[in-house]
Amino acid sequence: MGSRVKVLMVEDDEVIADALSFMLTGAGFSVEVAHSGREGLAMVETFAPDVVVIDLSLPDVGGDVVAFTIRSDWPEMGLIISTGHDRPAQLERLLGDGRTLFLQKPYDVDSLEAMIRGLAD
């Protein structure tokens, strides 16, 4: 593999975000963290990630809005949408595009890593 895969975590729970960032960095990814939807959308522009991992429950702009905005503006970018709740019906059309995956919380880092590598290839 050439350059490191760039991953943006959009996760408002700092403990979860820090732990995932630490583990994914250890697995060889370049990781940045945004703690809100607005911050995540701004960082997509500046960081230009290969894959964005989005928590649906964010304090300002919902994860679904973040996902739809990214898909509209950067259709080639890989998205992994995650929540501890049921899979929201409004995301069904996004999830059918082949570049957007769903990961139910709680999940293990190996599953997340496999999804990221699959989307980045």
Q: For residue 52, give the CATH number of its domain.
A: 3.40.50.2300
Asked if residue 39 is part of any domain, the answer here is yes
Residue 55 lies in a domain: yes
Sequence-distant (6+) residues with CB within 8 A of 117 are: 5
- Would you say residue 1 has pLDDT above 50? no
User: What does the pLDDT average to over 87-112?
Assistant: 84
Pair 62, 41: CB distance under 8 Å: no
Tally the domains of the chain: 1
Structural domain that includes position 12:
6-120
Q: Is 68 within the bounds of a domain?
A: yes
Q: What is the pLDDT of residues 10-30, one digit of tens each?
A: 999 999 999 999 999 999 999
Residue 1 counted as domain residue: no
How far apart CA 82 and CA 85 sit, in angstroms, is 9
How far apart are alpha carbons 96 and 98 in whole angstroms? 6
